[in-house]
Structure 1
Amino acid sequence: MRFHKECLHCKKLLVGRTDKKFCDPQCKSGYQYQQAKEQPERFYNKVDNQLKLNRKILKAYNKGGKVTVRAQVLIKKGFNPNFFTHYWKNKKGDVYLFVYEYGFLKREEHNVCKYILIKWQDYMRKKIPLG
């Protein structure tokens, strides 16, 4: 008794084992890819993808170590400031949000929203006393 009479992906007639579902490995792979595309993206994947995109954008615009860029430019590229990995507070009290090694600080100058972009430095590491 055969469970599946045709390939689940290409619908060709199956020959061989009775529990066979696909005619070849390519059809199996194609079917699994199609199934994955139809399912909604998992929360973890959304966050991870946005973090990767944010890092890529910050890296592309921060060639000099410290740069100021209009927020609108970054946002048009897909940057979302709500996704970051950690933060650092300087002595002035400014809180830089970081996406891995690339940081940003939101500023408003002359009614234009901008981001100051920096790169993580060793001196930013907070020293915790051991005793």
Structure 2
Amino acid sequence: MSSICKNCGTVIRGRVDKKYCDDSCRSSYHNNKYGDVTRTMRSTHRLLRRNWKILSHYYNNGATEVSYGLLHSEGFIPEYVTGVIVNESTVKYRCYEYTFEIDNEGCIHIDAGYEGY
């Protein structure tokens, strides 16, 4: 009994439980099926990584307070974070190991470490 490849529709030779005629068809099938999801994940991770690089650059060069305008001009998007810490009076955001807080004057205060977790 022969089966049909799930990707290209050709007759499969070999094992009876094969679903694809070769590795290329298997990869193509999964890329087509999950492409939108992985594309969104890659895009989100790229934005998180950019935020991390910007925070890392300033923090490692001794800056713990940077204007929002400067960070924004470098591509920083504060909506892309890996966590939020809510206290009674403050909201702090996490981007991996960096914590930042935005004050009323448009200044971002950067800290490193895992406080609040």
Shared fold (TM-score, shorter chain, > 0.5): yes
In percent, how many aligned pairs have the same letter? Answer: 26
Q: Return 5+ residue gaps in structure 1 as ranges.
A: 1-38, 126-131
Say yes or no: does 1:80 pair with 2:63: no
Which AA in structure 1 matches 2:98?
A: Y
Deviations 1:62-93 (A, max 9, x none): 13777110001111111000100012234x52
TM-superposed CA distance for 1:120, in Å, is: 2.0
Structure 2 unpaired stretches of 5+? 1-34
Contact 1:65 1:118 (C-alpha < 8 Å) held by counterparts: no
Match for residue 95 of structure 1?
91
Distance in 1 (alpha carbons) for counterparts of 2:51 and 2:43: 12
The residue that corresponds to 1:115 in the other structure is 108
TM-score (norm: length of structure 1): 0.54
Which aligned runs of 4 or more in structure 1 are off by greater than 4 angstroms? none
**What are the equivalent positions in structure 2 for 1:1-131 lying under 5 Å apart?**
42-63=39-60, 67-90=64-87, 93-109=89-105, 113-121=106-114, 123-125=115-117
Instruction: Give the Å deviation of 1:115.
Output: 0.5
* Greater per-residue helix proportion: 2
Q: Structure 1's 65 and 87: CA in aligned 2 closer, same or farther, altered over 3 A?
A: farther
How many correspondences in the alignment? 82
